[in-house]
Structure 1
Amino acid sequence: MEIKEIQQQIVDEFSMFDDWMQRYEYMIDLGKSLPLIEEKYKTEDNIIKGCQSKVWVHAELEDDKLVFTADSDAIITKGIIAILVRAFSDQKPQDIIEADTQFIDDIGLKEHLSPNRANGLVSMIKQLKLYAVAYQTQLN
């Protein structure tokens, strides 16, 4: 499935909820289904800078596609990274680099986060795209 299709699924899922309390609960549930990073990758190198809570992300190339695993020590943040991992994992690096992140605005996520969490969200997106750039360079 292409990134745009996955992003649209996420937007559709969030639109089913009437208020932000329900959306936060849904994000927490998404965090519980996050493909968890192995303990050996929970290192300083894999921590996303710019996040108030700790967020670890690991990327591996499998069959020319980037597969992300992650974890966080905060439940809402874990939900946020779960959304991003779902949107970008198992995709070609070039597709991740070129991917639009409008879906984040479409679900209203940024405007419902504290300024620190919103900055963390931007840092998470940036880090996933940096991994894609690094792996795309290896593929060329």
Structure 2
Amino acid sequence: MTINEIQAEIVDEFSEVDDWMDRYGMIIDLGNSLPPIEEKYRTPDHLIEGCQSRVWLNAELSPEGRIRYTADSDAIIVKGIISLLVKVLDDQTPDDILNADLHFINDIGLSEHLSPTRSNGLLAMLKQMRLYALAFKAKQ
């Protein structure tokens, strides 16, 4: 699936729920379904700077030239947010990730319902995911 197709699915899922407490519940459920990151990646090297909570992110380039992300967080909402980003950007090419317009963040109202510190954390997570894509692109 393309990034835009995945975003459209997410927007559809969230559009069925009006109440923001229920949407937070959906985000928490997404976080709970995120596969755990391997213990060897729970290191300071894999922590995302700029997040108030601890967020670990790892990225590997598959033989097919696609980036595989794994992530985790010690905060339940933040884990849900990183799981949304992983859902959209995982198994995509570095070019697709770097060129993606991640409009779903605004489309589902996420940006306007996050505290300033969580918004900064979201931007830091996205920045780190794009930095991995940039690094892998440079190696290709």
Scaled by the length of structure 1, the TM-score of the pair is: 0.97
Q: Flag as ranges the 4+ runs of structure 1 deviating above 3 A.
A: none
| SS state at 2:59 partner | strand
Structure 1 unpaired stretches of 5+: none
Provide the residue aligned with 1:112 in structure 2.
113
Whether 1:96 and 2:107 are equivalent positions in the alignment is no
Provide the residue aligned with 2:137 in structure 1.
136
Identity among equivalent positions (%) equals 60
Structure 2 unpaired stretches of 5+: none
Taking only aligned residues, the RMSD between alpha carbons, in angstroms, comes to: 0.7
Deviation of 1:43 after TM superposition, in Å, equals 0.9
Deviation of 1:33 after TM superposition, in Å, equals 1.3
Q: CA–CA distance in 1 between the matches of 2:139 and 2:32?
A: 32
Provide the residue aligned with 2:21 in structure 1.
21
Whether 1:67 and 2:68 are equivalent positions in the alignment is yes
Provide the residue aligned with 1:55 in structure 2.
55
Q: CA–CA distance in 1 between the matches of 2:35 and 2:66?
A: 16
Q: CA–CA distance in 1 between the matches of 2:23 and 2:37?
A: 24
Deviation of 1:35 after TM superposition, in Å, equals 2.8
| SS state at 1:29 partner | helix
Give the residue type in structure 1 aligned to 2:122. Answer: L
Q: CA–CA distance in 1 between the matches of 2:43 and 2:101?
A: 29
Aligned positions, number: 139
Provide the residue aligned with 2:127 in structure 1.
126
Give the residue type in structure 1 aligned to 2:6. Answer: I
